Chain A
Amino acid sequence: MEPGTITFNLAVAIPELMLAVGAMVLLMIGAFTGEKSARSMHVIAVALIAAAAAVLVYTAPEGVVFSDAFVSDRFARLMKLLVLGGSTFAIAMSYGFARHASYGRFEYPILVVLATLGMMVMISADDLIALYLGLEMQALALYVAAAINRDSLRASEAGLKYFVLGALSSGMLLYGMSLIYGFTGHTNFAGIAEAMAAERQLGEIFGIVFMLAGIAFKVSAAPFHMWTPDVYEGAPTPVTAFFAAAPKVAAMAMMIRVTYGAFEHAAADWQQIIAFLAIASMLLGAFAAIGQTNIKRLMAYSSIGHMGFALVGLAAGTQTGVSGVIIYLIIYLIMTLGTFACILAMRREDGLVEDISELSGLSRTHPMMALMLTALMFSLAGIPPLAGFWAKYFVFLAAVQAELYVLAVIGVLASVVGAFYYLRIVKIMWFDEPESGFVPMASELRLVLGVSGVFTIFYVVVAGPVSSIATGAARTFF
């Protein structure tokens, strides 16, 4: 090797390269064919992401490349697969809106592809710089996606709010990173972990606090959740469906890698922070959602609560805890996509409706949709034997095993309070007088809802394989 040259095994990063090159090709096609290509762009983008997922599963090897900044291990591959799945379904669900809505623009699928690329880099980041670059790339694409319907005042407000608060959180994250780098002398996670092994200085703990606060913004954990309801409500519904699924998984995966990778020796310090975030999020998610009448706002508080439950598993600090979080993320992703398929189907002749009361009597006008949505609501509330119950069961089990009894008890209580507003939707659907029905559900929404509903109801059948996959991925850190 002569000086100035360096070789990387690019095969490790093939899925990322596919998305990067594919996004640029899509951009070229879009720029030359114009707005009329919006629908075909959706199809090509879905094919691109699906191809990247196939390559990720079948050919991409595991390894560490780019001077230890980019790692692909079992955990990263599983999380990337989830993110790719979430993005694919999110683009597919916005297909029907590409033509007749004012936000049907060819740039939207490209932005989703680029955001997905950012998320994959976040998941694979083994270095502070890579982490920040991935995060910023994902966030920038999301800010634009939130405001993509620029004729709508609420969408523009949502985009601006997201941007300002996101920039603030990035500032906190960067400040934390600078403290970590200053006190440990490393940007690489392995180096940071090694430097922290002996003794920890106060500055390192400050860095951990600032970094976790910055990441908590991204997973919308209370008390850093303020942007979530407004952005969810203001952004166009297909965009909200995307926001609620894949970015949450990516940010949570990043949090796991930061806490268990870089800060593994500082577990005693970050555990209390995570436990506080978990308690605050669970309680806020349970109580603040009660008064909501807009279903998108309700889902925003619901997602805050669910991130709180997932953080319970993270706070446990054990392998069971991490595998619990992974199972939670898998189930959360699928439930959320299914619920948003229903929300996107709440459409009358004159457009989308978002009020919960619009669902009244759904069981008589659209029995199948009502049945599936009921299953999803029971699952979100955590009622056995549906998927959502098992998700909560594994994180609480991990918390109890780690002797975090207070956390587990508060979690169960918050889950009971939260059940109220999920059950209220079920009551509205089955026992209220029907309103005029919605327009028939588009086939891509039926597909997503069907897959999600069947998974939720028959989770016990696949529970064994899912658990073993999650355990295998969690073993990466232990």
Chain B
Amino acid sequence: MNVVGLFFYLFSAICVASAFMVIASRNPVHSVLFLILAFFNAAGLFMLMGAEFLALILIVVYVGAVAVLFLFVVMMLDVDFAELRQGVLQYLPIGGVIGIVLLVELVLVLGGLSITPEGADLVVQPIPDMAETSNIQAIGDLLYTKYVFFFQMAGLILLVAMIGAIVLTLSHRSDVKRQNTATQIGRDPATAVTLHDVKPGEGI
């Protein structure tokens, strides 16, 4: 077994194990931390395939932003997870039966899947060759030309999400004190400082 194969099995094993721990661990904070571990190993798998840009984006975006946000949300929300799990035993039989039926069906389907010998020839080769160009340029060349429609649509979807977040959460309350920078900057010593003649032992 060569080194690449060794790392592949190392990353995938940790990835699957930590993904399982995400749903199995009792403490939600631990779940998020396991999720981060899973992201790191997935990034490692990307790296093995030579997709270094995707690997680093996965770490920067998912670990750096999304998972940290999850962590904040989980820590801030006062959710009693033990209470949430109370119904589990009650629904376990029916849920378990449905789950097993689905699993058997999927195994039957995907178990019959075989890779055709000529499959290797069907793999699309990037143009230009990856040896000549960098990962980022190869993605950019496709994303801004052939897939520009999808790219712009994705941008619009993010705009909708942003509008939605603002519509549903932003509220202008009138009963709170706000900072007024204009008045703050407009103050001068004449209006800001007053001199009091304080007599000893009396105070203001």
Residues of A that sit less than 8 Å from B by CB: 3-6, 8, 20, 24, 27, 65-67, 69-70, 105, 107, 110-111, 114, 117, 121, 129-130, 133-134, 136-137, 140-141, 143-144, 147-148, 150, 159, 183, 185, 201-203, 206
Contacts and interface: CB of A to CB of B under 8 A. Distances in A.
29 contacts: A4-B145, A5-B145, A20-B152, A65-B149, A66-B148, A67-B146, A67-B147, A70-B149, A107-B166, A110-B163, A111-B163, A111-B167, A114-B156, A114-B159, A114-B160, A117-B156, A129-B150, A130-B153, A133-B150, A133-B154, A136-B157, A140-B157, A140-B164, A141-B164, A144-B160, A144-B164, A201-B112, A202-B109, A206-B109
A65 B149 CA distance: 9
Contacts of A117: 156
Contact of B153 (A111, A134, A143, A202): A134
Contacts of A133: 150, 153-154, 157
Interface residues of B, number: 29
Nearest to A179: B109
Contact of B112 (A4, A66, A202): A202
Given A70-B149, A134-B153, 9 more contacts: A3-B128, A24-B159, A65-B149, A148-B167, A150-B167, A159-B168, A201-B113, A203-B110, A206-B109
A150 B166 CA distance: 12
Given A66-B148, A67-B147, A141 B160 contact: yes
A20 B156 contact: yes
B117 to A, nearest CB: 15
A110 B149 CA distance: 21
Contact of B149 (A66, A140, A159, A202): A66
Given A69-B150, A133-B150, A185-B122, A4 B141 contact: yes
B100 interface: no
A157 B166 CA distance: 18
Given A66-B148, A130-B150, A185-B122, A137 B167 contact: no
B47 interface: no
Nearest to A111: B163
B161 interface: yes
Contacts of A4: 141, 145
Contacts of A201: 112-113
Given A130-B150, A144-B168, A111 B160 contact: yes
A452 B46 CA distance: 57
A4 B180 CA distance: 51
Contacts of B168: 144, 147-148, 150, 159
For the complex of A and B, list the 7 residue pairs with the smallest distance between their C-beta atoms, beginning with the closest. A66-B149, A144-B164, A133-B153, A6-B145, A107-B167, A140-B160, A137-B157
A105 B153 contact: no
Nearest to B163: A107
A10 B108 CA distance: 46
A150 B105 CA distance: 42
Majority DSSP secondary structure for residues of B touching A = helix
A156 to B, nearest CB: 9
B5 to A, nearest CB: 24
B162 to A, nearest CB: 10
Interface string B159-200: 111011011100000000000000000000000000000000
B146 A137 contact: no
A150 B169 CA distance: 8
Contacts of B109: 202-203, 206
A89 to B, nearest CB: 22
A183 B112 CA distance: 12
Among B109, B152, B153, B157, residue most surrounded by chain A Cβ atoms (within 10 Å): B153
Contacts of B160: 111, 114, 137, 140-141, 144
Contacts of B128: 3
A367 B4 CA distance: 81
A130 B113 contact: no
Interface string B106-149: 10111011000000001000001000000000000100011111
Contacts of A203: 109-110, 112-113
B149 A6 contact: no
Contacts of B147: 67
Contacts of A66: 148-149
A144 B157 contact: no
A143 B164 contact: yes
B157 A130 contact: no
Given A4-B145, A66-B148, A185-B122, A140 B161 contact: yes
Contacts of B145: 4-6
A144 to B, nearest CB: 4
Nearest to B169: A150
Nearest to B157: A137
A418 B160 CA distance: 38
A203 B148 CA distance: 30
B63 to A, nearest CB: 23
Nearest to B149: A66
B123 to A, nearest CB: 10
Contacts of B106: 206
B142 to A, nearest CB: 9
A69 B149 contact: yes
Contacts of A150: 167-168
Nearest to B147: A67
Contacts of A144: 160, 163-164, 167-168
Nearest to B154: A133
A328 B109 CA distance: 37
Among A107, A144, A201, residue most surrounded by chain B Cβ atoms (within 10 Å): A144
Contacts of A107: 163, 166-167
A148 B169 CA distance: 10
